[in-house]
Amino acid sequence: MCPIRIYSEKIDFEVKGEFHVVDLTSKVESAVECSGIKEGVVFVSTGHTTGTIVLNEYEREVLEDLKKFLRRFILSDGEYTHNENGFAHLRSIFLLSSKVIPIHAGRLGLGRWQILYWVEMDRHNRKRIVEATVIGE
């Protein structure tokens, strides 16, 4: 039995406001490759509270439907106790801030149409950081 190894890498990128989408797949694949781990899992997470990591099809129509859904059920101009970006926090809570993906033969175990991407929920341009932690052998 091989010993379990752990490798972690930070991925940084810029966002340009509400619903800006960033494809993270190739950067997470690169972290898995750098880890040298062939079988295991990768945890992709963020410490930010107003953005989310999505694992789904990267298609314009899916993203438009997501925007419509969130705008309908978590209004950006709603009355929230939190400050002016309370809506962004609530959207992130419902969509979660981490994903776990299996690794097989050194590759991400994604479905045919799945990719990993960031969706920004806040209105501000800023730098974001996601961490990919690879665990396995």
For residue 44 the two structure tokens come to: 């992709």
The topology under which CATH files domain 5-136 is Jelly Rolls (2.60.120)
Nearest Cα to 135, choosing from 46, 24, 55, 44?
A: 44
Q: What is the mean pLDDT of residues 41-61?
A: 96
Q: pLDDT tens digits for 57-102? A: 999 999 999 999 999 999 888 888 988 899 999 999 999 899 999 9
Nearest Cα to 117, choosing from 28, 8, 10?
A: 28
Helices (H) and strands (E) in the chain, counts: 3, 8
Average pLDDT, the chain: 96
